[in-house]
Structure 1
Amino acid sequence: LQDSLFQEVMQKRTPRFFEEGESPAMPLILSVPLVSRKKVIGFLNIHTMYKSIQLTQDKIELVYALASQASIAISNAQLFQALREQAIIDPCTTLYNFRYFQQKLDEEIDVYNSSKEPLSLIILDIDHFKKVNDNYGHVYGDTVLRELGNIMKRNVRSEDSVCRYGGEEFAIIFPHCTQEVTLRIADRIRSRIQETSSHDRRSTFKEPITVSIGVAGYEPEMSKTLFIQRADNALYYAKNHGRNMVSGYDSQLESEYANYQKKK
């Protein structure tokens, strides 16, 4: 806006009347800044197609009143959006947080129940992340979390939801995606993380990072809890059989996971 007609309006934060010929397109009569917290967030402009039209004092006061109400409405909408983002965004990674994950998974299960379109879930865990924090500190640990989150976002579709599940665990919801297809996507993510951290030209990573991933597909009448548990069972299998691998849920994993739970 620096070279526009509204530069003076924006700088002074006061209304400006325009003379005939000042605006090249449709004649502009009046521009009123929309101000919130001493910052211009928009303009309310009055144009006319008729050169002889003049604004009366009553109409000018009405425009000022409308501008004031618009400023309040836009400011409130921005504040609401900021508060909503704080409620659903993880501050460390800027991914969706656990609260959003739970809400979104409920929504996608409802979509499945009405459309029968496939739905899959990934739970990903960073291998030996405690050692990363112990060796290099939590500030670097947070950097690793952010970088891995970015890698995940770059390797999924816009409709997929990448979430920080908690600690060093992440979850990704894949609507319209079978378990078989999701397994291939999961392995691509695993491979990208290993390659990026091993051959890091930016020197962001101090050592190679690997991840273990569990994948589960949703089935009719399944509860959300069971759906998550199946992905978690598959993750446990991956971590218990060498790490740095992807495992898809299979009913045979249940007994192995049950034995593990008994030993805890």
Structure 2
Amino acid sequence: MIIIKDLFANLAILISLLFLYTQVSNRSPLTPRSSYQIKLLAGISGGFLGNVLMQYSINIGTTIVDLRLIPIILLAYFGGLVPSIISMLLIIGGRFLIGINISSYASTVLVITVTLFSVWIARTHLSKQMKRMIMLTFSNISASFLFLYLIKDINFLLKLIPIYWIVSYFSGYIAFNTVTFLRKSQELFNKYKAESMIDPLTGLNNVRKFDEVFNQSLADLEKKKQKLSLLYIDIDFFKKVNDTYGHAEGDVVLKELGHILRSCTRTFDIVSRNGGEEFTVLLLDCPLDQAVQIGERIRETVEDHSFILTQGGTINLTVSIGVSCYSDTTKDAGLIINDADKALYEAKRSGRNMLCVAHY
């Protein structure tokens, strides 16, 4: 009963720390293609977990029995060679800190063998379930040989080895499924979070993302002392497009305009669809004269562009643009949205297909 109790204590620690790690690394889950920084963090975390498990092990003379091999197997499966080796070295080092004896040397051989075998299996083209089963089985067989070599009490071995196999398989199953479930949950969360910031029609930022970036840009202005410009863009007579050709064709126009806006702006500018036929371009570290150049490039490109309709034929459209800039048109950065909006409606009133600059 003590054996079962201690091994299940190991399992509880294992699952708890795995859950904690996945929460910390939720933006960058470990894969064989992860950066070395992520692999280093994963390897250190696995080594830490293995050392914690050794502190709550079953002690049989100088031999300690625990689930330290599970973190290594997980790292080999999900991350490949680098994190597994880092974890292996930390676990070996931790074992020697507990005591230098025949058991620690034998344990070193075991850990190295299981690590290298698991990394090799992870690279094969076997199914996921087969890889997991082979890794855990090899680990159990290797550990059993170690127990037979180090522990001379046959009666105790007859109890220990079957229980160890059962708990090890169960722990491995729980660990693999816990990590897989948490990773899928994180992927879905990150996907939904990204989608909540993206306009589904054009693929541009939506108004929520625009507000987030705009507020962050205002905060950065205090530190960087840079200029911030805004283009407010509206498609002229877009309602006629929907009324004449239908909303499906209107959507085609909006998508194509999104492509034009991307092509006419810098890679780090924030292009958003703020609703309906209204778009914005937040120009980071951009003075007024450069913002006007970018705005005119957009206006001219749209004017010269033929929008191809799905039902056949093309149409030509124009846009009106309002421009504001901190600190060229206002000293209050928080007003550039309102100022650009006023400039846009001035362009509309002045005949459309125009760019107007906000008044200082």
Q: TM-score, normalised by structure 1?
A: 0.71
Are 1:54 and 2:149 an aligned pair?
no
Measured in 2, the distance between the counterparts of 1:125 and 1:242 equals 13
| 8 A contact 1:197–1:205 mirrored in 2 | no
| Aligned ranges 1:121-136 → 2 under 5 Å | 121-136=230-245
The one of 208, 211, 214 equivalent to 2:322 is 214
Q: 1:186 to 1:87 in 2, by over 3 A?
A: same
Partner of 2:154: none
Partner of 1:28: 121
Are 1:78 and 2:187 an aligned pair?
yes
Measured in 1, the distance between the counterparts of 2:301 and 2:342 equals 23
| 8 A contact 2:235–2:319 mirrored in 1 | yes
**Structure 1 counterpart SS, 2:257:** helix
Residue 85 (structure 1) shift: 2.6
Partner of 1:237: 346
Q: 1:68 to 1:180 in 2, by over 3 A?
A: same
Measured in 1, the distance between the counterparts of 2:247 and 2:171 equals 56
Q: 1:186 to 1:76 in 2, by over 3 A?
A: same
Q: 1:60 to 1:196 in 2, by over 3 A?
A: farther
The one of 166, 169, 175 equivalent to 2:278 is 169
Q: 1:44 to 1:185 in 2, by over 3 A?
A: farther
Partner of 1:95: 204
Identity of aligned residues (%): 34
| 8 A contact 2:233–2:322 mirrored in 1 | yes
Larger RCO: 1 or 2 (CA < 8 Å, sep 6+) = 1
Partner of 2:253: 144
> For the pair shown, which has the larger CA radius of gyration, 1 or 2?
2
Letter in 2 for 1:96: N
Q: 1:205 to 1:143 in 2, by over 3 A?
A: farther
The one of 225, 242, 259 equivalent to 1:116 is 225
Residue 170 (structure 1) shift: 0.4
Residue 213 (structure 1) shift: 0.8
Are 1:69 and 2:211 an aligned pair?
no
| 8 A contact 1:151–1:192 mirrored in 2 | yes
| 8 A contact 1:32–1:45 mirrored in 2 | no
| 8 A contact 2:207–2:272 mirrored in 1 | yes
Q: 1:27 to 1:167 in 2, by over 3 A?
A: closer
What do you get for the CA RMSD once the two structures are aligned? 3.6
Residue 44 (structure 1) shift: 7.0
Residue 145 (structure 1) shift: 0.8
Are 1:160 and 2:269 an aligned pair?
yes
| 8 A contact 2:326–2:333 mirrored in 1 | no
Higher strand share: 1
Q: 1:245 to 1:44 in 2, by over 3 A?
A: farther
Letter in 2 for 1:54: S
| 8 A contact 1:33–1:67 mirrored in 2 | no
Per-residue CA shift, 1:78-105, capped at 9, x if unaligned?
Answer: 1112221332222222221112211211
Measured in 1, the distance between the counterparts of 2:313 and 2:198 equals 24
Q: 1:161 to 1:65 in 2, by over 3 A?
A: same
Partner of 1:10: none
The number of residues matched between the two structures is: 219
Measured in 1, the distance between the counterparts of 2:306 and 2:143 equals 65
